[in-house]
Structure 1
Amino acid sequence: MQDRFTTFVHNNRQSFPLTANLPYLLRLTNDCYITYASIHIHELLGYRQNEVVQTCFKDYCYFGDYNHFMQKLESVIAANEDYFELELRIRNKIGKFQNVQVAATVLRNAFHHKTEGLLLVMRETTAQESDLEVLYNEKLAQYETLVNHLLEAVVIVCGDQIVFANQASTRLFKADHLKEIIGKSIYDFLHPVHYEIWKSEYMKSAQAVGPVDFVWKTVCGNSFQSEVIIIPTNFKGKQAFQLLIRDVTERKNTERTLIEAEKLSMAGQLAAGIAHEIRNPLTALKGFLQLMKLDLKTKNDYWDIMESELERIETISNELLFLAKPRSTELKLISLKKLIQEVSLLLETQAIMHNIIIDKHFPDEEIVIYGNEVQIKQVFVNLIKNAIEVMPNGGHIFINIEKDEKFVDISVIDQGCGIPEEHLEKIGQPFFSTKKEGTGLGLMITYNIVQNHHGTISVSSQVNVGTTFTITLPLFDESHYTAK
């Protein structure tokens, strides 16, 4: 066994540049147990061959040096490399530490390429020879200890390859082990939208840059937003970049929420002002209309129509006030099929003018919900009216109702131009509209009303095919409301 191994070492001397005057050879298992030692090992350690074999290499290393040795080994294996050099302090039989220079080669199986152990070739070095290397190793160990305790991810990129990552990086990229990060290309994690700017600007920068906004992908492919500081550095004499990465996904979401809240507040103030300006003259108009109705002899139908339209203006102004500050309203049982029939009848004339047919598909049984009838009616007025406006060339609007034991789904399906996917998440936000003259307030009111009725709205769309709004509302539960 030893003859075959010695032959292997002799035949591969060019892989071990330190072996020119080195008699100290060790072969280790993957767990760093010694399976072979050269005959001259006693000159270094004071132990004979048979005393060293089957012991752990850790037993002879200075504690901090062994940790550095294992970290170096893991990074080399993760990068799919086979060779590294470093200096260690080795304790001999009488307890004295000796500085040694080590060349380590990872042994792999020729067929399946799995790691089968290590070959260490060592030589003694004087304190003067090793001072700089020891200092470097100590500084490197201090650096790794420091960055491994940081909450932010720290990554070093050399060329396109990630050559170092701290422990926080595994949490950031949802990796189980650093092996899933170290040795990989930065482009395995960086979102493609940033490829060009990384190559053209940041890889050529001679000064620290940042923080800049980057989007990354986790090991499982999910995206997250980050702020990155890019610091030029060197790694083994090569140009490299140290990246300090902070996940800001939650902060960005909070900022968006605050912006939307500010928009909603502004919309509410605007709506309140408009509503009050409308309601003041409406009060006078309704009063004088009633007086004129008593004195003048004209067709009653005219007065009824005028009064109805004034009441409709008043209803709209009330909805604007609802946007500004939701009011306590009268809640009652609502026949959903009857309500939608009434809304369809109201908008049927407008639909016919646009060559649109409203198709309704309802279940046979009665469907009852509990809420404010005026507000629920406003929801379907907004949705059907929007569907008519996006179909200038005519077509069909389908209104489908499906129910289960606790909830009812009402789908309003149009055959309009559709909504691009990147705009879907903005639907319902104030002042966002796909219509040229739209304000987005109608759909915002719709979302607000549905949420206040403990319901949800979902939207799906396909460009040039159409859009589907699905409203889910709880069915009336007599026992639930009786208990209240």
Structure 2
Amino acid sequence: MFLFDYIVNLAIFSLLVSTPLVIRSFINLRPLKHPLIWSGLYAGVVSIVLVLLAVKQQGYVYDIRYAPVILTFAYLGPVPGIITGLFALSIRLLSSGNWFPAIAGWLFIMVVFSILHTYFSRWQLPHFKRSLALSGAYIVVYMTIVFTFRILVHEPLFHIQYLLFVILGVLLGGLLIESHERLRRTIAERNEMELSLNASEYQYRLIAENTSDLIVVMDPDHSIRYFSPSHAFVLGYPGLAQDRAELDRIICPNDAMVFNQTVRKILERKTTQSLEIRFVHQDGRLIPFDSLCKPIEGKGGRIEHIVIISRDISERKKAEEFLVQSEKLSIVGELAAGVAHEIRNPLTTIKGFLQLYNLENPTMKYGDLLQDELERIEIITSELLSMAKPQANAFTTTNVKEVIEQTLEFLAPQSLLNNIEFKREYQGEYFPVTCVKNQLKQVFLNVFKNAIESMPHGGEIHIGLQIDNEECLITIQDQGCGIPEEHLHRLGQPFYSLKEKGTGLGLMISHKIIKQYHGCINYQSKVNEGTRIEIRLPSHE
């Protein structure tokens, strides 16, 4: 029965120690003012309860009222410890007599505990070790009081049982507090880690979901773990499933072999690789990307994932093409200047002697025609010189219809030989534009000659002319062999021609002239169906 009461007493003490700790864990209460005082008051109430539950055996009373005092001193300090001690002393005085030894012992214990707490704080001793040290001090003080006041000196078993009762209470209470505090720290660390992970995840998601770069996480077997949302607004796909087929879907088939070879290199060498690859937009066009493939190693040095970050380099490609075109134009300009200079000298001689020959032989049949063609050659050489060194031109208001008719009249012999018929579709008689007439004639001459040469078996060339939104719109539609769609964007580049003996300079000069007039030229073509050219020039009011 004594043992049972003893266990019940310790169980109730454990419950009273755990109750505030559990409440604090499950209920987020508002912090109290003066928490040390409130803690001391609660521990004092626990001391009263322990005295009321004291174990009585053979006329002796066993209680563990000093266990909460020791724990309060160890974990909270002197202020709540003394408050708890006052409660323990008060209930002791009320429950039994012999006040003097009780008060003297209590004062001695409070002084010793307060001094020890000062040293504990200086040494930064852990709280549980403080409780053990205070328990040892309590044993020494208790034995000192027993021998000083000769309290049951002949009953050592009673004192041993009493001290064991108190020390076990301290150990049990300390273990409960330590386990709860450790659990609380673990939970706090886990919550802090979760907050940190959530913050990191939010930052990475913020980057991944708002970057224009394409991010793909791929396994070594090409299975996909992640597609960044940027695929939706860069490539136009509303949603990509995490499937290998989706990756094959967006990679250009002609670049798939290069991509697979790069993945094999990454797996073999375990190094980052870069490649230039084209992705297929949802509308079918190809977009070039510069892709960086980085391996992610796991345990044992084995590659577990490959992170692919791709950046759109369309603008860079355009800049490179523009730079190349600028260099070509520079070369063409230098070449044009040299060729035109060398042509002009013998051309001047030919013109001079032709004029003398016409004077001496006024009946020569084609003298005027030869003279006109020599003048046209001189104009063309002047245009070549203007490419190298722009010159001020005399702009006049010219009727586009007259320029087209003059050009068609000049090309009439060639069109007859090739069985070509020009179909005119003019919506009016007067189409004024501000230009240099001979330059505009050169543009039409280049365009019509290309249309004729694309129709070796003859056919019709439809020429449209109208005023559209304050612009003069000239359309030329042939029935020739057509141009592949992927080559249309290169028309007008220097030295680029689809003809076997072409130089590409004709269209380049035409583009330059049209641009000089603040106009534009566009191409629409299908293979074996013909080509449609639209030239827009600002109309002169």
- Distance, in Å, in 2 between the alignment partners of 1:291 and 1:197 is 69
TM-score (normalizing by structure 2): 0.58
Q: 1:251 aligns with which of 312, 316, 319?
A: 316
Q: Which residue of 1 aligns with 2:412?
A: 348
* 8 Å contact from structure 2 (residues 232, 239) kept in 1: no
- Distance, in Å, in 2 between the alignment partners of 1:305 and 1:194 is 57
Give per-residue Cα distances to partners, 1:96-142, cap 9 Å, x unaligned: 3226999xxxxxxxxxxxxxxxxxxxxxxxxxxxxxxx9xx999998
Q: Which residue of 1 aligns with 2:233?
A: 174
For the structure 1 residues 97 and 399, does the alpha-carbon distance in structure 2 shift closer, same or farther, using more than 3 Å as the test? Answer: same
> Is it true that 1:156 corresponds to 2:132 in the alignment?
no
Q: Which moved more, 1:190-199 or 1:365-374?
A: 190-199
For the structure 1 residues 366 and 92, does the alpha-carbon distance in structure 2 shift closer, same or farther, using more than 3 Å as the test? Answer: farther
Q: 1:401 aligns with which of 465, 474, 479?
A: 465
> Is it true that 1:98 corresponds to 2:186 in the alignment?
yes
- Distance, in Å, in 1 between the alignment partners of 2:497 and 2:295 is 45
- Quote the offset at 1:46 in angstroms: 3.2
Structure 1: give runs of 5+ residues left out of the alignment.
1-41, 53-90, 103-133, 478-484
Q: Which residue of 2 aligns with 1:261?
A: 326
- Quote the offset at 1:422 in angstroms: 1.2
Give per-residue Cα distances to partners, 1:69-91, cap 9 Å, x unaligned: xxxxxxxxxxxxxxxxxxxxxx9
Matched residue of 2:479: which SS? Answer: coil
Partner amino acid for 2:464? N
- Quote the offset at 1:259 in angstroms: 0.6
Partner amino acid for 2:340? A
For the structure 1 residues 304 and 215, does the alpha-carbon distance in structure 2 shift closer, same or farther, using more than 3 Å as the test? Answer: closer
* 8 Å contact from structure 2 (residues 428, 466) kept in 1: no
Q: Across the two proteins, how many residue pairs are aligned to each other?
A: 359
Matched residue of 2:186: which SS? Answer: strand
Q: How does 1:460-479 map to 2 (within 5 A)?
A: 460-477=524-541
Q: How does 1:445-484 map to 2 (within 5 A)?
A: 445-477=509-541
Q: How does 1:381-420 map to 2 (within 5 A)?
A: 381-420=445-484
- Quote the offset at 1:156 in angstroms: 2.3
* 8 Å contact from structure 2 (residues 295, 303) kept in 1: no
- Quote the offset at 1:264 in angstroms: 1.2
Matched residue of 1:473: which SS? Answer: strand
Partner amino acid for 1:174? F
Matched residue of 1:425: which SS? Answer: helix
- Distance, in Å, in 2 between the alignment partners of 1:302 and 1:369 is 33
Give per-residue Cα distances to partners, 1:186-228, cap 9 Å, x unaligned: 3454344333443455156322253210223578987532222
For the structure 1 residues 363 and 92, does the alpha-carbon distance in structure 2 shift closer, same or farther, using more than 3 Å as the test? Answer: farther
* 8 Å contact from structure 2 (residues 395, 436) kept in 1: yes
- Distance, in Å, in 2 between the alignment partners of 1:306 and 1:278 is 16
Q: How does 1:254-403 map to 2 (within 5 A)?
A: 254-294=319-359, 296-299=360-363, 301-403=365-467
Give me the identity figure in percent.
34
Q: How does 1:231-246 map to 2 (within 5 A)?
A: 231-234=294-297, 239-246=304-311
* 8 Å contact from structure 1 (residues 456, 473) kept in 2: yes
More strand per residue: 1
* 8 Å contact from structure 2 (residues 431, 466) kept in 1: no
Q: 2:255 aligns with which of 191, 194, 201?
A: 194
Give per-residue Cα distances to partners, 1:396-453, cap 9 Å, x unaligned: 1111112224012111111111001111111111111111100110011111111111
- Distance, in Å, in 1 between the alignment partners of 2:23 and 2:376 is 102
- Distance, in Å, in 2 between the alignment partners of 1:409 and 1:435 is 27
Q: Which residue of 2 aligns with 1:19?
A: none
Partner amino acid for 1:231? K
- Distance, in Å, in 2 between the alignment partners of 1:395 and 1:182 is 52
Partner amino acid for 2:268? A
- Distance, in Å, in 1 between the alignment partners of 2:329 and 2:350 is 31
- Quote the offset at 1:291 in angstroms: 3.9
* 8 Å contact from structure 1 (residues 187, 195) kept in 2: yes
- Quote the offset at 1:290 in angstroms: 3.4
Q: Which residue of 2 aligns with 1:206?
A: 268
For the structure 1 residues 394 and 141, does the alpha-carbon distance in structure 2 shift closer, same or farther, using more than 3 Å as the test? Answer: same
For the structure 1 residues 222 and 284, does the alpha-carbon distance in structure 2 shift closer, same or farther, using more than 3 Å as the test? Answer: closer
Matched residue of 1:319: which SS? Answer: helix
Q: Which residue of 1 aligns with 2:291?
A: 228
- Quote the offset at 1:297 in angstroms: 4.2
- Quote the offset at 1:341 in angstroms: 1.1
- Distance, in Å, in 2 between the alignment partners of 1:322 and 1:429 is 17
For the structure 1 residues 192 and 421, does the alpha-carbon distance in structure 2 shift closer, same or farther, using more than 3 Å as the test? Answer: same
- Quote the offset at 1:180 in angstroms: 5.5
For the structure 1 residues 222 and 299, does the alpha-carbon distance in structure 2 shift closer, same or farther, using more than 3 Å as the test? Answer: closer
* Root mean square deviation of aligned Cα: 4.0
Larger Rg over CA atoms = 2
Give per-residue Cα distances to partners, 1:132-180, cap 9 Å, x unaligned: xx9xx99999899689769866542124344357xxx54576389xx95
Matched residue of 1:430: which SS? Answer: coil
Q: Which residue of 1 aligns with 2:133?
A: none
Q: Which residue of 1 aligns with 2:502?
A: 438
